[in-house]
A and B are shown apart, each in its own frame.
Chain A
């Protein structure tokens, strides 16, 4: 009778040799191999997302409520100061819904990028000691950002219902499209920046500053009509503005959820025209998604090239 050792030896003799990680095919083949490798680690990804969520508020009494308090306070600030005190709400109907939908989508994007960028460095302990497909760390950050986004989405939808603004129309289809675009671009940047951050720690601080600036490059606290009016003389400026995929996604998101923006409204004595949504929005969204996938592919290839030295650079 064969002993356990002999059985094992026989099984091993049948197996093909595998080259150690990453020596495999380059470009497209390498991308597909990486995706397959990540897919085979999906249970681990799930556990890492849970770990991130659980550990974040582990010892606080309010726990997950904290992840809601921040956006709600932000909403309050923008609603009271920008909306009422500075008077932006006079030109924007249902200002609360408008601002909160913008903040919700922006929150998803900025959290993916900010926490994704530092994800490799924060998991240094694991990366130095165990081989895992390293893309899993920015993806885990993305997963926890999605979870927070979903909680905010529930609050947003509840608010929309309470205010009697539920936008049942085909425009709702813009919402998933907007989320998909933000996810594609967010993950692409998270993957790329997390790898660069290993070699140049300044990246994570640079990202913080860049996100602060980019917040104002999308129509989150000011409306699209304002941009259209400001750039009336130079329509090419609008095209440049719309090249930012997040601005475009933001508009699509608002078009889906912020019903008042597509209607004629009367606030006090002012009559407010509906938002002049950009022409060919569907085509633009499709292009933004495709361009995002190309960028994601390139980002993953750069990541794969850089990750070979992660363990010694961290």
Chain B
């Protein structure tokens, strides 16, 4: 995508570190029994270490790395779902996080009820949902099942509806965690087209993906993470090479 000249910064990550503490006991009994020795029953590791970068409006940025390198944690920190132990994340504009499609779906409610609920979770008002409702249903192509409880949906129908809602939220910043490969081929293509439309509209997309092809096709910048550190930050093609290299460590 042609980046705008002097595009404003929308996300600013400064020196972010996140430590996970893994406690091995959870119940009261175990805690009392192990009281005083609790340090031994803790493990911690740094999921993110002094990560800093800025993102300009309208860029599509790919976060890549081996399993456990901290990319999903970083995405959650960006979305405000996890708070970092150190450092700050600043951002502006409306943010939507697509970390899991249909996270807010309730199996006992109908598709229609879930559309309203999920839109509200993603930040739409009731009036806006009313406006977009038909377009959401059309995008998902499951009109005839919209008044069925979603527990009876096939997994494909489920993600179609969820994706349809997510793309109607009108975000300035979209966080995407490996959810683009949903549905059958025609629907996948539809999703990709929608993402490209988003790019043309100047939305910022932050994408976690394991698919090198997808990253190369969509992203104009790649950040490679390894053991919680940023090891590469730059163009997509070089990023893929850096990613391959990071696997070897």
Contact = CB atoms under 8 A, between A and B. Distances in A.
Interface stretch (B82-90, B184-192, B216-224): B82-90
Interface residues of A, number: 43
B193 interface: no
B15 interface: no
A21 B80 CA distance: 6
B103 A8 contact: no
B26 A201 contact: yes
B125 A43 contact: yes
B120 A311 contact: no
Contact of B108 (A13, A59, A131): A59
Contacts of A41: 120
A44 B90 contact: no
Contacts of B245: none
B81 A131 contact: yes
A74 interface: no
Contacts of A54: 108-109, 113
A69 to B, nearest CB: 20
B200 interface: yes
Nearest to B204: A12
A9 B4 contact: yes
A279 interface: no
Contact of A55 (B99, B106, B120): B106
A171 B160 CA distance: 57
Interface stretch (A80-88, A121-129, A294-302): A121-129
B57 interface: yes
B196 interface: no
A108 to B, nearest CB: 24
A19 B90 CA distance: 4
B8 interface: yes
B27 A3 contact: no
Contacts of A23: 83, 88
Q: How large is the interface on B (under 10, 10 to 19, 20 to 34, 35 or more residues)?
A: 35 or more
A239 interface: no
Given A20-B83, A308-B83, A12 B26 contact: no
Contact of B93 (A15, A126, A309): A15
Nearest to A13: B8
Count chain B CB atoms within 10 A of each CB in A7, A41, A47, A201 and give the residue with the most.
A47
B200 A5 contact: yes
Interface string A172-201: 000000000000000000000000000011
Given A130-B104, A308-B83, A20 B58 contact: no
Interface in A14-36: 15-23
B109 A51 contact: yes
A9 B202 contact: yes
Nearest to B96: A130
B161 interface: no
Interface in B79-138: 79-83, 88-93, 97, 99-100, 103-104, 106, 108-109, 113, 116-117, 120-122, 125-126
8 contacts: A4-B201, A8-B58, A18-B91, A20-B89, A20-B90, A21-B80, A125-B103, A130-B121
Interface of B: 4, 7-8, 10, 12, 20, 26-28, 31, 57-58, 76-83, 88-93, 97, 99-100, 103-104, 106, 108-109, 113, 116-117, 120-122, 125-126, 149, 172, 200-203
Interface of A: 3-9, 12-13, 15-23, 41, 43-44, 47-48, 51, 54-55, 58-59, 125-132, 200-202, 308-309, 311-312
Which 9 pairs of residues, A with B, have the shortest CB-CB distance?
A5-B202, A308-B83, A129-B103, A13-B8, A21-B80, A15-B92, A44-B120, A131-B80, A17-B90
Given A18-B92, A54-B109, A200-B27, 16 more contacts: A5-B4, A6-B202, A9-B8, A12-B8, A12-B10, A16-B92, A17-B90, A20-B78, A20-B80, A20-B89, A22-B80, A43-B126, A59-B108, A128-B103, A200-B26, A200-B31
